[in-house]
A and B are shown apart, each in its own frame.
Chain A
Amino acid sequence: MSPNITDLRLGEDLLKRGFAKMTKGGVVMDVTTAEQARIAEAAGAVAVMALERVPADIRAAGGVARMADPNKIKEIMETVSIPVMAKVRIGHISEAYTLASLGVDMLDESEVLTPADPFFHINKKELKIPVVCGARNLGEAVRRIFEGAAMIRTKGEAGTGNIVEAVRHMRVMNEGIKMVKSLTSDDLKKVASTMSDSYRIVRREISSQFFGDQKVLGDDDLFYGKSGKQIEAELYQILDQIKKQGRLPLVNFAAGGVATPADGALMMKLGADGVFVGSGIFKSPDPPEMAKAVVEAVENYEDYQIIGTVSQGLTGMNGLDIDQMPKDMRLQERGW
């Protein structure tokens, strides 16, 4: 009758995914000062993301964006009682462990910062704290889950105040899940094999250097001791779980372009479990009101009267047209 710990799928995983579940239906806000963190908490944010600059300013500044100053993160942790998250560069293992040692509650392996590893994302299974990762499509999501992500979010296009890419990624993800549900297990094995391909990139580069062709040299130890076959098998298991559950097997938020209460509600309507707001709050003219309004719209995303009421008199941040943006300015292209 009483359940065994081993019956609970990987205890550590349960704690990490459990943490993510506690944020469901909520809004995570980017903050750069203790004062902003206090505003976010008072507005009803479920967590804050401690940063040196919001994505719009990172985009404007250019150059290399790295993890925030530990002092800044500590100051924010001391100010609020809600969880504090921090962004780590894609593949930057050392930043990840450093941030974890500061006591942050969750990491965001984020394309908003400049990637540190051209081949691999962090092996998140080894970290004791949960990590959220961005994804543009089901393949990226499945690979991040395989690597140990406890939560997924759409990438969208951060710092633009333009919701179109977040919507694109959520639609593409949902469509991918719909397809997976209709596929046979043989087909799913093929999908797993295709999805495993990005773990062979560095190996292929070596093959090319050594023998002048891209035929992959060996299948052993492609990612933290795991062979290509093992990776494919694990990706298949995740896909099979998605097929059975009809959704990602963990919490899936929306991010990247949320600038108004209605934007937040739209992402919930499309199936997001919650919303990250980066620049949308503290780049708007009235941050406390915007923060409160986005929270209320997300919690009541199908109550249009409430959304209408909270939207009154609010102005969103200045937005950017993504179609006019050169490809190398698009943060979503980072990660694979």
Chain B
Amino acid sequence: MKVGVIGFQGDVAEHVEILYKLKEERKRDIEPVLVKSRRMLSEVSALILPGGESTTIYKLIKEYDIYWDIIRRAKNGMPVMGTCAGLILVSKNAKDERVRGMDLIDITIRRNAYGRQANSFYENIKVNSIGNIIAIFIRAPIIESVGDAEVMATYDNQPIMVRNQYILGMTFHPELSGDTRIHDYFLSMVGREGYTSSGKREWYVSDIA
């Protein structure tokens, strides 16, 4: 099974490294690939949107027509994980015309909400179904409101990790700590034939504008 990482900008290599770790140490049957075109996207069974600059990544996936394909694939059941900038991109509303969310998960986001780099931090966080992890927040966004999505972790009474059937997202960077559990959890959302383990396909291409 090919697992794609959007490969234009950001900490792409860190995600790929974790995927290789899962392949080797946990014997996950996966092949990590970089996605920079529609063709590459069409070959993957699951997709990661990495950390980086959301404005830059947004611009490039729009430029190369990948943006709408991600939405189509995700709404047809391809699991997508977004970390930090990636979470902003999958959100329903990023409240910033410079970055339009794909509306794949029902959350509202505020970019750079903790402040600037001097306010970046890390914290020991309990994540439902996974356990305690070190969460690294770098110029992180805040999830201001959550609609139809499950909150998996909070910090300071605010949601920092959410999921729905196909989408997993967090405001922090699991790819930076070397911990493979969150990626492993994400891969467990991928069922056979590349669809989520529940196997349901609730949306179709015709559902979206």
| A residues at B contact (CB < 8 Å) | 1-3, 5, 8, 11, 14-15, 18-19, 21-26, 41, 44-47, 77, 81-83, 100, 103-106, 128-130, 295-296, 299-300
Contacts and interface: CB of A to CB of B under 8 A. Distances in A.
Contacts of B53: 22-23, 26, 46-47, 82-83
Q: Which 10 A-B pairs have the closest CB atoms?
A: A105-B117, A2-B132, A25-B9, A21-B11, A44-B59, A46-B53, A299-B8, A44-B56, A15-B120, A103-B116
Interface in B92-119: 96, 98, 111-112, 115-118
B121 interface: yes
B145 to A, nearest CB: 20
Interface in B65-97: 84-85, 96
A83 B56 CA distance: 12
Best-surrounded residue of B111, B112, B122, B181 (most CB of chain A within 10 A): B122
Contact of B9 (A8, A18, A19, A24): A24
B55 A18 contact: no
A15 B138 CA distance: 7
Interface in B126-161: 131-134, 136, 138-139
18 contacts: A5-B124, A5-B134, A8-B178, A14-B122, A14-B176, A15-B121, A15-B136, A18-B120, A18-B173, A22-B11, A22-B51, A24-B13, A25-B10, A25-B12, A82-B56, A83-B139, A128-B118, A129-B118
Given A3-B179, A19-B120, A24 B55 contact: no
A21 B122 contact: no
A8 B178 CA distance: 9
Contact of A18 (B60, B85, B176): B176
B122 A3 contact: no
Given A5-B134, A8-B134, A82-B55, A26 B118 contact: no
Given A81-B112, A106-B117, A296-B60, 4 more contacts: A1-B181, A8-B134, A128-B118, A129-B117
Contacts of B138: 15, 18-19, 22
Contact of B56 (A2, A19, A45): A45
Contacts of A299: 8-9, 36, 60
Contacts of B178: 3, 8
A2 B121 CA distance: 18
A18 B56 contact: no
A184 to B, nearest CB: 28
A11 B118 contact: no
B8 A21 contact: no
B160 to A, nearest CB: 16
A23 B56 CA distance: 10
Contacts of B10: 21-22, 24-26
A276 to B, nearest CB: 15
B96 A81 contact: yes
Interface residues of B, number: 44
B9 A2 contact: no
B202 interface: no
Contact of B136 (A14, A129, A295): A14
B207 to A, nearest CB: 30
Contacts of B56: 26, 44-46, 82, 295
Contact of A83 (B60, B117, B124): B117
A3 B131 contact: no
A83 B117 CA distance: 8
A45 B193 CA distance: 38
Contacts of A103: 115-116, 118
Nearest to B133: A2
B52 interface: yes
A103 B178 CA distance: 29
Contacts of A24: 9-13, 52
B136 A18 contact: yes
A186 B54 CA distance: 46
Contacts of B139: 19, 22, 83, 105
A295 B179 CA distance: 32
A21 B36 CA distance: 19
A105 B56 CA distance: 17
Contacts of B181: 1
Given A11-B122, A22-B138, A44-B59, A3 B177 contact: yes
Nearest to B132: A2
B169 to A, nearest CB: 16
A46 B122 contact: no
Find the residue from A1, A11, A25, A129 having the highest chain B CB count within 10 A.
A25
Nearest to A295: B56
A18 B55 CA distance: 18
Contacts of A5: 122, 124, 134
